């Protein structure tokens, strides 16, 4: 989450080493948390493989948590706004972002246009559609299309996600918008851990993601 701030700082104050730091962290996450079969990123990685949740061989967390991946796609899209076109790591970041967004689209729920709390297990009856990750994915896809990072054909997926979120919005007794089904936050755990996490209405994780999505979709063609 600090990557976009570091890249903006680098541009504003002429500190190129912060470009390198932001890019390195993004590349490091892709190297250690990406799962080849799905193309998705695990929620975490332990170098020592000693954490209670860590796979003893890979050190990876057991599941693909929706908002963790959404933070990553959003961060990389934001880093690329400031990263110089000639930076050595820019091509790799573009490839990683494009591949990850392509993978995410395959897990989009067709009826609702949203994504699940545990991204790859939408067929399980106890899994549920989570608002903040859906907003972040729609934002990232739409922005990547606008910036020319991925093909325009992917914009349909962003519009489906956006429409799905708008459809489920409610209003309270004062007429204010209520953004529901936002996971309130979580540590790393197994499938049951993520599914049991409570949700909040207008939790800031969801409100911020919703605002980002709406701002970006207003620019979509």
The pLDDT of residue 107: 98
Taking 80 as the threshold, does the pLDDT of residue 3 lie above it?
yes
Average the pLDDT over 174-182 and give the result. Answer: 95
Helix axes 3-13, 66-82, angle to 10 degrees: 10
Tracing tokens 């880093």 back to the chain, one arrives at 79
pTM: 0.97
**Model confidence pLDDT, tens digit, residues 132-169:** 999 999 999 999 999 999 999 999 999 999 999 999 99
Confidence of residue 1 (pLDDT cuts 50, 70, 90): confident
The residue to which tokens 């299309």 are assigned: 145
pLDDT, one tens digit per residue, over 67-86 is: 999 999 999 999 999 999 99
Q: What angle do CA 67, 108, 96 make, to 5 degrees?
A: 60
Averaged pLDDT for residues 182-190:
95
Decide which of 10 and 220 is more confident: 10
Residue 117 and residue 186: Cα distance in Å, rounded? 11
Secondary structure class of 11 (helix, strand, coil):
helix
Q: Percentage of the chain with pLDDT > 70?
A: 100
- Please report the DSSP string for 133-185 in residue order: HHHHHHHHHHHHHHTTSS-GGGHHHHHHHHHHHHHH-EE-TTS-EE---EE--
Residue 91 binned pLDDT confidence (cut-offs 50, 70, 90): very high
Calculate the alpha carbon distances from 38 to 70, 102, 177, 189 in Å: 16, 10, 35, 19
């Amino acid at each position: 989450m600090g990557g976009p701030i570091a890249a903006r700082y680098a541009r504003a104050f002429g500190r190129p080493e912060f470009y390198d730091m932001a890019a390195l962290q993004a590349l490091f996450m892709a190297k250690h948390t990406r799962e080849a079969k799905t193309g998705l990123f695990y929620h975490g990685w332990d170098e020592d493989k000693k954490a209670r949740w860590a796979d003893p061989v890979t050190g990876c967390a057991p599941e693909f948590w929706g908002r963790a991946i959404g933070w990553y796609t959003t961060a990389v899209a934001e880093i690329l706004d400031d990263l110089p076109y000639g930076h050595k790591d820019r091509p790799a970041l573009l490839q990683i972002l494009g591949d990850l967004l392509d993978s995410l689209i395959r897990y989009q729920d067709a009826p609702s246009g949203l994504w699940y709390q545990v991204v790859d297990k939408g067929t399980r009856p106890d899994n549920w559609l989570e608002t903040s990750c859906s907003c972040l994915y729609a934002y990232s896809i739409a922005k990547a299309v606008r910036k020319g990072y991925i093909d325009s054909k992917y914009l349909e997926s962003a519009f489906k996600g956006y429409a799905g979120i708008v459809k489920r919005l409610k209003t309270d007794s004062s007429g204010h918008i209520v953004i529901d089904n936002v996971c309130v936050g979580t540590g790393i755990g197994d499938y049951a851990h993520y599914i049991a996490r409570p949700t909040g209405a207008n939790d800031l994780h969801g409100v911020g993601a919703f605002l980002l999505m709406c701002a970006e979709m207003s620019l979509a063609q």
